[in-house]
A and B are shown apart, each in its own frame.
Chain A
Amino acid sequence: MSAATPVLEGRGIVKRFGHVVALDGADFELYPGEIAAIIGDNGAGKSTLIKTLSGALHPDEGEIRLDGSPVHFRSPRDARRVGIETVYQELAVAPALDIAANIFLGRERRRGGPLGALRMLDKGAMRRHAAEHLAELQIRVGSIAQPVETLSGGQRQGVAVARAASWAQRVVIMDEPTAALGVKETRQVLDLIKRVRERGLPVILISHDMPHVFELADRIHIVRLGRRVAVVTPRTHTMPEAVAIMTGATRGELEQALTTEQP
């Protein structure tokens, strides 16, 4: 493994909801410039894990480190402030508003000078920046002033990804980015994710789709029963082998180091 400091790291994260233990001492590292995928069966704890990393949930135990230093996120705002952006499964876009408005949602730019004192939005600047970000990621749309509801599913995903990518300084997290897309649009989004990495942003990716995971990921973290049970790469393992670890048919290498009670 690389000796570089992980950009984002979680150690021994425990998260309980009442009597249910969603995360039972989970670990995770994201190294600079990589796409790290998290895979696991339903209920394994993937979503919970990334929610603790993005500030949406507070871990009950364990530590999160950013560039080696411990951090404590009280809300998604804190995470965004240090440059961690998330693309949610539901996209979290406002369909009635245009693309530029969505990219700047919650972070709108104001004009300078006296008009700014009247809190006037700098729509021109926002549109220009939005257009630039979309162009960088090679997302094609008819007009930047188009309402998001007139876009296709793939374009909407592109807008959500562009939003995260344009604000993220350190990490982009993506939760099931191709779940609702057709074949062609999926292809477009996968290429988009590669371009995000090319721009120098490391990506954490949750996906159910093994072929996509194996196409994109540099490393694959396999989660089961609230713990990370293995870290594999597409070069060292095949898809069936990864799936076997995921379902528990095979023991992951990290699992063998632990003593676990079978329920």
Chain B
Amino acid sequence: MTSLDTTSTEQRSAASRLGGLVANALSAPAVAPLIALVLTMTFFSVKSDNFLQAQNLSLVLQQVMVVGVLAIGQTVVILTAGIDLSVGTVMAFGQIVMTKLAVANGVPAIPAIALGILACVAFGALNGGLVAGLKLPAFIVTLGTLNIAFALTHVYSDDLTFTGLPSELLFFGRTFELAGADVTYGVVFMLVLYAVTWYVLTQTAAGRHVYVVGDNPQAARLTGIGINRVLFSVYVTAGLMSGLAAMLLVARTELGDPNAGQTTENLDSITAVVLGGTSLFGGRGSIIGTLIGAVIVGVFRNGLTLIGVQVIYQYLVTGVLVILAVSVDQLVRRRRL
């Protein structure tokens, strides 16, 4: 009576086994980025008295909330082994739609926000349709929509900045008091979005299918998972997140900026995902890791300013962090096999 054995019969040294244990612990979702975050925060709190205060930490979360929401959409797209390069410029278009309608066309605030979000969802549907339906590469498709959204933003806004927004548009930038610190509604909203996404990804079949499509699309096809439906839905989700991020951006900056989303937001959303331990090859990663990754970027920006480090080194640090994150992820994965 034979049976299939587990590990190979070679003897493993104690050090090798310990290494395996560490690797297994590190590979639990989001543990590695969490350790990185704790180390970073420890470093900054030692170097600056201002860092670990509740007010400052609340500020960091507020600074992170827009990219944090963008990164949710980016995460689900990357989990399917895709990528969305258009999230930043689509968000920019959405915030122009919202603010222009409210300020220049007298549309009431809530419908204006809804239309802005809808515009972003439309872009998401376009991306999804091309990637899922026509099987075009995501990199190329979203590069195209990036440019389209960029052009539309400038044409539609006529390069004007929209100020004097109705107060409803500013709601998510307002704060309430909790334990001596000001908590921003937008931050709470972001955390709720993360919680919902976590639930869908880890507790539902639909979430599992997202992972499978990225991990082994052939397996998905052969077991009857509707690949096209999954792919379409992740890009629409990314579009929705761009719209929600636009809403938060408007609330934070209190204006509609035709030049928004062009510098950091696009790349930062991908950086957050990578720092959070999600693999760019799809199929592996955790949404909580992305949240931690986004917070790490914000903590670094904030901390380096607080201790007076020259701005040029922020670029250096971000670059090093990303490479470190990817390397740790690779090492951990190789170690446990």
Contacts and interface: CB of A to CB of B under 8 A. Distances in A.
Asked if A and B touch directly (CB within 8 angstroms), the answer is: yes
B211 A94 contact: yes
Contact of A119 (B4, B205, B220): B205
Contact of B5 (A76, A88, A95, A140): A140
Place the interface of chain A in its size category: 35 or more
Most chain A CB atoms below 10 A, which of B4, B204, B205, B223:
B4
A94 B225 CA distance: 12
Interface string B1-25: 1111111100000000000000000
B216 A94 contact: yes
Contacts of B220: 94, 106
Contacts of B284: 96
Contact of A141 (B6, B199, B203, B212): B6
A120 B6 contact: no
A223 interface: no
Given A94-B219, A96-B284, A152 B4 contact: yes
A106 B223 contact: yes
A223 B167 CA distance: 77
B219 A93 contact: yes
B223 to A, nearest CB: 4
A250 interface: no
B229 to A, nearest CB: 12
Contacts of A121: 203-205, 208
Interface string A90-101: 111111110001
Interface stretch (A26-34, A35-43, A183-191, A196-204): A183-191
A76 B203 contact: no
Contact of A95 (B1, B6, B8, B216): B216
A97 B215 contact: yes
Contacts of A252: none
Contacts of B206: 119
B222 A96 contact: no
A106 B4 contact: no
Interface string B209-249: 10110011011101111000000000000000000000000
Nearest to B204: A119
Contacts of B7: 142
B224 A106 contact: yes
B216 A93 contact: yes
Contacts of B3: 138-140, 188
Interface string A165-207: 0000000000000000000010110010000000000000000
Interface residues of B, number: 30
A138 B2 CA distance: 8
Given A92-B219, A93-B219, A105 B4 contact: no
B135 interface: no
B225 A191 contact: no
B6 A140 contact: yes
B1 A110 contact: no
Contact of A105 (B199, B223, B336): B223
B293 interface: no
A191 B212 CA distance: 30
A191 B216 contact: no
A227 interface: no
Contacts of B212: 94, 97, 105
Nearest to B7: A142
Interface string B258-296: 000000000000000000000000011000000000000
A81 to B, nearest CB: 10
Contacts of A91: 219
Most chain A CB atoms below 10 A, which of B2, B206, B223, B225:
B223
Contacts of B336: 150
A182 to B, nearest CB: 11
A97 B211 contact: yes
Contacts of A158: 4
B224 A95 contact: no
Contacts of B337: 149-150
Contact of A94 (B1, B4, B203, B283): B283
A43 B204 CA distance: 42
Contact of B225 (A80, A105, A149): A105
Contacts of B1: 138
A91 B223 CA distance: 11
Given A77-B224, A106-B225, A142-B6, A94 B215 contact: yes
Contacts of A120: 203-204
Contact of A108 (B2, B205, B222): B205
A84 to B, nearest CB: 13
B4 A188 contact: yes
Interface string A65-108: 00000000000110010000010101111111100010001111
A247 interface: no
B4 A139 contact: yes
B79 to A, nearest CB: 10
Given A92-B222, A96-B215, A97-B212, A110 B205 contact: yes
Contact of B4 (A101, A108, A140, A150): A140
Given A76-B224, A94-B220, 15 more contacts: A88-B222, A94-B212, A95-B215, A101-B208, A105-B219, A106-B220, A108-B205, A108-B208, A118-B204, A119-B206, A121-B203, A138-B1, A139-B3, A139-B4, A150-B337
6 contacts: A94-B283, A106-B209, A118-B199, A140-B3, A142-B7, A187-B2
User: Which 6 pairs of residues, A with B, have the shortest CB-CB distance?
Assistant: A106-B223, A108-B205, A92-B219, A92-B222, A106-B224, A140-B3
